[in-house]
Structure 1
Amino acid sequence: MKKMTFTLTFLIAMSANIAAAVAGLVTLKPSIAVQNEQITFGDVFEGAEEKADYVIAPAPAPGKKVVFKASSLAYVARKHGLDWRPSRAISRIVVKRAGVRIPQQRILEEIRFALEDELQTGQFELSLSTQHPNIQVSTDEEQSISVASLSYSKRGNNFVAVLIAPATGPNARQYKLTGRIHRQLEIPVANRLIQPGEKITEQDLEFVLVRASKVARNTLTDPMDIVGKSPRRTLRPGHQLSVNNLGDPVTVAKGKLVTVIFKSRGIRLAVTGRALEPGAEGDIIRVENIASRKTIQAQIINAEEVHIISAGQRLANLN
């Protein structure tokens, strides 16, 4: 009797194993990640065997994921001879696709090349509406990107770029990015610290690109308007040069002793004076006669000499 019972149990177990094999019993993989363009039973299940290459659905874009209902996946599996029934704890199946992100710098470079060709200038900055664009390619694809099309609005300085990644190959995917163009001006700036009274030379200047919206109205853009001038206040490297802060170089500093010359009808007299204010060559400044302490209006001729210009400044003012 015991022998018969054992035999019956063995036969029942064998029948169950055969039924399971016929039905294609499979188990769900704990973590599902795909590399290719399609999702197969082999990507999802362990034990799919001859059904492993059967395509269930298109794969998501690189770096993205797709979610299936567990009940829907079970239906498709049973329909193709695979026995899998989800537990109550499983309601959704997440399938991820590995990807490699294209660096933002490379994206900006490609858009910039296209815009330079469109605008025929490189004097601009660009900014994207999306701060960190997420464009990815598959791990087995070339990490490249190119601009397929570009549209630009002069009125709003806006652009729309359609990019493809990878740049070549049958599986290139499109991505649309929008952004804004900021026009730039090339302006001269000081390349060193320049103190008031110093004469600015060409070697003291360099050119930089600055957003046009940040260039003040009184900023000088022609170096010919700057060279030979002198700052009224200290100039720092990289700062814009304005009309209000430039004048002729100081030839005579305040407090400097100079020779005061008086000329009239062949008479030439000279006394020592002290400059009461700074001035450049050709400027008229106030000078104090050291001997008489009287103030004289004189024109600066050079760093050492000033000439009285008014006939009303008589010889008595010098003595």
Structure 2
Amino acid sequence: MPRRVTGIAIATLALLAPALAAAQETVVVPTRVIYPGQEVGADALEIVPLRRNLPNPSVYALDLEQVAGKVARNTLLPGRMVFNAALRDAYVVEAGKPVEMRFVQGPLTISATGVPLQPGSAGDVVRIRNLDSGQIVSGVVMADGTVRISAS
């Protein structure tokens, strides 16, 4: 004889569903100490299941792609969840190391050598000193290590 699902069973399943889903969520934790300024390699990370519900899961790294290849801002301890704010993108340009500056407008391209006054990741706006003129300008760091200057 078939069993009937009662309202109590449905209500119980509805209450347990969030807990079951949370039990299947995972977070990223380091397997060794990672110090500030060190690049985080995938070999130093592992995925572990959550034991409890997180109040705000968006502040934690939930998969390896969010962490691997980034640089630690703070010390990351083994077995502790990684906060997204404890990571930054690797710098593409370093302060004091000459790079190529490019001004591009339509078919016109002007290149010069400049020295960034601050480090920057791809997409960051940095101040840079033109070595020829001594002028300080701002530009956007490109992924290829150049700095694109725009008309001001």
Do the structures match in fold with TM over 0.5? Answer: yes
Shift of 1:216: 6.8
Q: What pairs with 1:119-268 in structure 2 (closer than 5 Å)?
A: 186-192=26-32, 193-196=34-37, 198=39, 200-208=40-48, 211-212=51-52, 217=56, 218-268=59-109
Shift of 1:305: 1.6
What TM-score, normalized to structure 1?
0.34
Shift of 1:201: 4.0
Q: What is the SS of the residue equivalent to 1:220?
A: coil
Pair 1:272-2:113 in alignment = yes
Query: 1:34 — aligned with what?
Result: none
Q: Percent identity?
A: 29
CA offset digits 1:182-213 (Å, max 9, x no partner): x8964211224254262x44323113456427
Q: Where does the alignment leave 5 or more consecutive residues of structure 1 unmatched? A: 1-153, 155-182, 313-319
Q: What pairs with 1:294-313 in structure 2 (closer than 5 Å)?
A: 294-302=135-143, 304-308=145-149, 310-312=150-152
Larger RCO, structure (CA 8 Å, separation 6 or more) = 2
Rg (Cα) greater in structure: 1
Shift of 1:249: 2.0
Relative to 1, partners in 2 of residues 1:247 and 1:265: Cα closer, same or farther, differing over 3 Å?
Answer: same
CA offset digits 1:211-247 (Å, max 9, x no partner): 427x673222233332343322343433321122223
Q: Where does the alignment leave 5 or more consecutive residues of structure 2 unmatched? A: 1-15, 17-22
Larger strand fraction of residues: 1
Mapped partners of 1:250, 1:212: distance in 2: 35
What is the number of residues matched between the two proteins? 128
- 1:281 aligned partner, one-letter code: A
